[in-house]
């Protein structure tokens, strides 16, 4: 095995994965090599724990266009394992790299550990119903969700090798009209407290109940997929679940959420899960620390008052 | 007239999978199968695009013999014909194998201008087969698309990637992976369901595609698949008046120090 490689188009995420990389490096006695598109970030990555940084220098600003060049580097240098930040851009690039290298790719590894000298990963299957443990062999590519690890402290005294590679980044497509998605609410992925709205809520006007509770708690609002996609009561960016946002608040409180497995997959890192729902058999109660079985139209206003007067 | 091929995966319906409480093994014996949810969006988008551009739509799947049931379902959603790679190798396939098989099948099919895939499969959600297939075919992949149109021999698509959107234009042939928000798959009418039985199906085995054993052997080595257990306190207030239950919950949350 020749090195632990780490890449993300987002330097913060590259650093987060370096935390994992260092942990594995000690156990496997392997160097950590970070790849970046940004020469100005190379020193930061060394200070974060990389032993080597490869700067991919090309003139295409579109990160996905570097897949071929990055795959060529990996082909030539044969790293033992290649971790890529699981942003959507990262997942696109990782799949193209894995196809070029004709190798396996583990998407969204939830856990990475060393067992008997080999790297093992865990990931979700069937919308979060099951956990699949896989053993890496050959030059595997693994994508790691953002914020899975903390950014390591910068050690300005660290030194490392910085190599710049001039590459041609293929531009098979014209990319334009890049525009940021303007969030109507706060970023729920970093919110400390969340109130989640599900289909138990009868009509859009009743969103006021959720807003009042959220205001009393100092929480942000989020929702299930159908509330965003079918009813448009909240923007698509506010839905939590496997294909939506993954949240990790201190408290997540749901009202009228049945708790389909794909939704629960998005909340499982919450510190405390609280559920209010009419249906005693709703799966959300199996995933909850605390819950109330009852009519949310009665329970939620009482809860809002109680929290205001606490 | 452009040719659009929509790829789909025939997967177990996760709602029917039970977890054995002791061993945490999965019991799939009573699980029905379905066209992967996200792939239904891919098929629907192919049909929507064809309605606007006059394209011909075919479906393509790689599955074992049981995937035969999927063909009528897929065809009732609008494609004019179906390609089916019928091989037991599908049971042990990972995305590496699936992409090799689909790419080989697309080459054998010969004609493709736009290939549509879901953003991921509802069982593995590995989100990689689409861009892998494009790479193997040497064509561009436009991933995570929330809106698309075909103009002449070009696809213009809006990608939604985390905190921004971008508009990407590519000439044919091109592979597009679609987000679920791109459309709402229609429920096939009785006429469509009946009509599906008359549509042509082309069936191949992996051997027909000339794939070497190495290309059909999974790279990802599975050690175990176990039911996920959420270990939570499960303190549920269900008896008493709403006020009693709220008082109980508030007391608990105060104790947790989260209010």
**Token output for B88:** 């037991």
Model pTM score: 0.90
Read off the pLDDT band of A169 (50, 70, 90). confident
Are B163 and A181 inside 8 Å of each other by CB? Answer: yes
Question: Which residues have C-beta within 8 Å of that of residue B204, sequence separation ≥ 6?
Answer: B83, B84, B85, B86, B105, B108
One of 3.40.50.300, 3.40.50.620, 3.40.462.40, 3.40.50.720 is the CATH number of B3-216, namely 3.40.50.620
Separation between Cα atoms, residue B65 and residue B87, nearest integer Å:
7
What is the rounded average pLDDT of the residues B102-130?
96
Separation between Cα atoms, residue A172 and residue B139, nearest integer Å:
8
Separation between Cα atoms, residue A265 and residue B164, nearest integer Å:
24
- Partners of A140 on chain B (C-beta within 8 Å) are 219-220
Asked if pLDDT for residue A183 goes beyond 70, the answer is no
Q: How would DSSP label each residue in A217-271?
A: HT-EEEE-HHHHHTS-SS-GGGBBSTTSB----SEEEEES----HHHHHHHTT-S
Lowest mean per-residue pLDDT among A171-175, A181-185, B2-6, B199-203: A181-185
Question: Are the beta carbons of B162 and A180 closer than 8 angstroms?
Answer: no
Are B166 and A177 inside 8 Å of each other by CB? Answer: yes
Q: Does an H or E element contain B62, and which?
A: strand B56-63
**Which residue in B11, B13, B14 has the most chain A C-beta atoms within 10 A of its own C-beta, making it the best mutation to test that interface?**
B14
Question: Are the beta carbons of B94 and B219 closer than 8 angstroms?
Answer: yes
Task: Report the gap between the CA of A104 and the closest CA in chain B (Å).
Answer: 5
Separation between Cα atoms, residue B195 and residue B5, nearest integer Å:
19
In angstroms, how far is CA B150 from the centroid of its own chain?
Answer: 22
What is the rounded average pLDDT of the residues B126-154?
96
Question: Nearest to residue B163, comparing CAs of A235, A220, A117, A256?
Answer: A235
Task: Report the gap between the CA of B190 and the closest CA in chain A (Å).
Answer: 25
Are B126 and A286 inside 8 Å of each other by CB? Answer: no
Q: What pLDDT sits at residue B163?
A: 78
The torsion angles phi and psi of A175, rounded to 5 degrees, stand at -115, 130
Separation between Cα atoms, residue A54 and residue A34, nearest integer Å:
6
Q: What pLDDT sits at residue A184?
A: 63
Q: Does an H or E element contain A88, and which?
A: helix A88-101
- Count how many Cα atoms sit within 13 Å of the Cα of residue B27 in the half-sphere of its side chain: 8
User: Which residue in chain A is spatially nearest to B234 when comparing CA positions?
Assistant: A289
Helices and strands, counts by H and E, chain A: 8, 16
Residue linked to tokens 């999978």: B17
Question: Nearest to residue B22, comparing CAs of B231, B227, B250, B254?
Answer: B227
Q: What order do you get walking across the sheet with B164-171 strand by strand?
A: A174-180, B164-171, B154-161, B141-151, B174-178, B114-118, B3-8, B56-63, B81-86, B201-204
Question: Are the beta carbons of B144 and B119 closer than 8 angstroms?
Answer: yes
User: Which residue in chain A is spatially nearest to B183 when comparing CA positions?
Assistant: A229
Give residue limits of the domains in chain A: 4-166, 188-308
Separation between Cα atoms, residue A148 and residue B15, nearest integer Å:
28
Are B234 and A96 inside 8 Å of each other by CB? Answer: no
Task: Report the gap between the CA of A304 and the closest CA in chain B (Å).
Answer: 10
Are B245 and A133 inside 8 Å of each other by CB? Answer: no
Task: Report the gap between the CA of A84 and the closest CA in chain B (Å).
Answer: 13
Burial of B225 (0-12, 13-18, 19+ CB in 10 A): middle
Are A272 and B256 inside 8 Å of each other by CB? Answer: yes
> What 3-state class would DSSP assign to B234?
coil
Q: What pLDDT sits at residue A228?
A: 92
Q: pLDDT digits over B54-96, tens only?
A: 999 999 999 999 999 999 999 999 999 999 999 999 999 999 9
Express as a percent the part of chain A with pLDDT over 70.
98
CATH architecture assignment, domain A4-166:
3-Layer(aba) Sandwich (3.40)
Q: Which long-range contacts (CB under 8 A, 24 or more apart) does A55-58 make?
A: A55/A162, A55/A163, A55/A164, A55/A165, A56/A165, A56/A167, A57/A164, A57/A165, A57/A166, A57/A167, A58/A166, A58/A167, A58/A168, A58/A169
Asked if pLDDT for residue A217 goes beyond 70, the answer is yes
Separation between Cα atoms, residue B85 and residue A57, nearest integer Å:
42
Question: Are the beta carbons of B180 and B38 closer than 8 angstroms?
Answer: yes
Q: What angle do CA A148, A151, A153 make, to 5 degrees?
A: 150
Task: Report the gap between the CA of A144 and the closest CA in chain B (Å).
Answer: 12
Residue linked to tokens 């063909």: B71
Q: What is the 3-state secondary structure (H, E, C) of A38-75?
A: CHHHHHHHHHHCCCEEEEEECCCCCHHHHHHHHHHHHH
User: Which residue in chain A is spatially nearest to B20 when comparing CA positions?
Assistant: A130
Instruction: Indicate if the alpha-carbon torsion angle B45, B51, B55, B56 is positive or negative.
Output: positive
What is the rounded average pLDDT of the residues A144-168?
94
Read off the pLDDT band of A243 (50, 70, 90). confident
Give residue limits of the domains in chain B: 3-216, 229-259
- Partners of A177 on chain B (C-beta within 8 Å) are 158, 165-167
Same topology for domains A4-166 and A188-308, yes or no? yes
Largest Cα separation within chain A, whole Å, is 65
Question: Nearest to residue A70, comparing CAs of A42, A99, A50?
Answer: A99
User: Which residue in chain A is spatially nearest to B169 when comparing CA positions?
Assistant: A174
Read off the pLDDT band of A177 (50, 70, 90). confident
Please tell me which of the candidates B96, B122, B243 has its beta carbon nearest to residue A127.
B122
Task: Report the gap between the CA of A180 and the closest CA in chain B (Å).
Answer: 4
What count of CB pairs under 8 Å joins A to B? 244
Dihedral Cα B148, B149, B151, B157, nearest 10 deg? -10
Separation between Cα atoms, residue B94 and residue B128, nearest integer Å:
10
Are B236 and A293 inside 8 Å of each other by CB? Answer: yes
Supply the mean pLDDT for chain B.
95
Supply the mean pLDDT for chain A.
93
Q: What pLDDT sits at residue A236?
A: 87
Instruction: Note the ipTM here.
Output: 0.93
CATH topology of domain A188-308: Rossmann fold (3.40.50)
- Count how many Cα atoms sit within 13 Å of the Cα of residue B68 in the half-sphere of its side chain: 7
Asked if pLDDT for residue B113 goes beyond 90, the answer is yes
Are A105 and B26 inside 8 Å of each other by CB? Answer: no
């Amino acid at each position: 095995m020749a090195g632990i490689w780490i890449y993300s188009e987002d330097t913060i995420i590259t650093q987060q994965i370096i935390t994992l990389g260092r942990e594995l490096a000690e156990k496997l006695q392997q160097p950590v090599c970070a790849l970046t598109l940004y020469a100005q970030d190379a020193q930061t990555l060394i200070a974060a724990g990389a032993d080597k940084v490869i700067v991919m220098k090309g003139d295409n600003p579109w990160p996905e266009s570097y897949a071929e060049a990055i795959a060529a580097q990996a082909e030539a240098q044969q790293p033992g394992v290649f971790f890529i930040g699981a942003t959507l851009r990262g997942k696109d690039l990782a799949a193209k790299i894995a196809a070029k290298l004709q190798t396996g790719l583990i998407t969204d590894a939830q856990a990475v550990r060393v067992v008997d000298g080999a790297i093992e990963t865990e990931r979700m299957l069937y919308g979060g119903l099951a956990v699949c443990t896989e053993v890496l062999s050959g030059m595997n590519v693994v994508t790691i969700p953002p914020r899975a690890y903390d950014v390591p402290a910068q050690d300005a005294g660290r030194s490392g090798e910085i190599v710049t590679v001039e590459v041609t980044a293929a531009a098979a497509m014209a990319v334009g009209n890049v525009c940021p998605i303007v969030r109507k609410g706060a970023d729920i992925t970093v919110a400390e407290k969340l109130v989640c709205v599900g289909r138990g809520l009868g009509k859009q006007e009743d969103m006021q109940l959720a807003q009042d509770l959220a205001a009393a708690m100092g929480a942000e609002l989020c929702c299930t997929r159908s509330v965003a996609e079918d009813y448009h009561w909240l923007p698509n960016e506010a839905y939590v679940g496997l294909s939506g946002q993954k949240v990790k608040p201190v408290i997540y409180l749901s009202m009228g959420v049945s708790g389909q497995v794909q939704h629960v997959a998005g909340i499982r890192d919450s510190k405390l899960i609280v559920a209010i729902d009419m249906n005693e058999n709703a799966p959300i109660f199996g995933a909850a620390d605390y819950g109330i079985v009852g009519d949310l139209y009665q329970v939620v206003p009482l809860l809002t008052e109680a929290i205001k007067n606490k | 007239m452009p040719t659009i091929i929509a790829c789909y995966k025939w997967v177990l319906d996760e709602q029917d999978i039970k977890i054995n409480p002791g061993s945490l093994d999965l019991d799939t014996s009573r699980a029905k199968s379905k066209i992967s949810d996200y792939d239904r969006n891919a098929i629907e988008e192919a049909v929507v695009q064809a309605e606007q551009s006059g394209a011909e739509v075919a479906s393509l799947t790689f599955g074992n013999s049981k995937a035969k049931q999927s063909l009528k379902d897929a065809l009732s959603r609008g494609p004019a014909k179906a390609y089916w790679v019928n091989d037991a190798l599908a049971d042990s396939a990972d995305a590496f194998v699936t992409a090799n098989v689909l790419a080989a099948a697309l080459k054998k099919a010969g004609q493709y201008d736009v290939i549509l895939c879901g953003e991921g499969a509802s069982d593995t959600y590995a989100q990689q087969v689409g861009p892998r297939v494009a790479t193997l075919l040497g064509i561009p992949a436009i991933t995570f698309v929330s809106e698309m149109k075909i103009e002449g021999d070009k696809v213009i698509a809006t990608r939604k990637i985390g905190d921004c959107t971008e508009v990407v234009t590519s000439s044919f042939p091109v592979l597009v992976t679609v987000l679920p928000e791109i459309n709402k798959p229609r429920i096939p009418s009785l006429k469509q369901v009946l009509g599906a039985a008359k549509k042509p199906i082309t069936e191949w085995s992996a051997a027909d595609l000339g794939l070497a054993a190495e290309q059909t052997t999974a790279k990802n080595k599975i050690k175990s698949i176990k039911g996920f257990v959420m270990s939570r306190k499960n303190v549920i207030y269900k008896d008493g008046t709403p006020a009693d239950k709220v008082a109980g919950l508030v007391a608990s949350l105060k104790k947790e120090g989260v209010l």
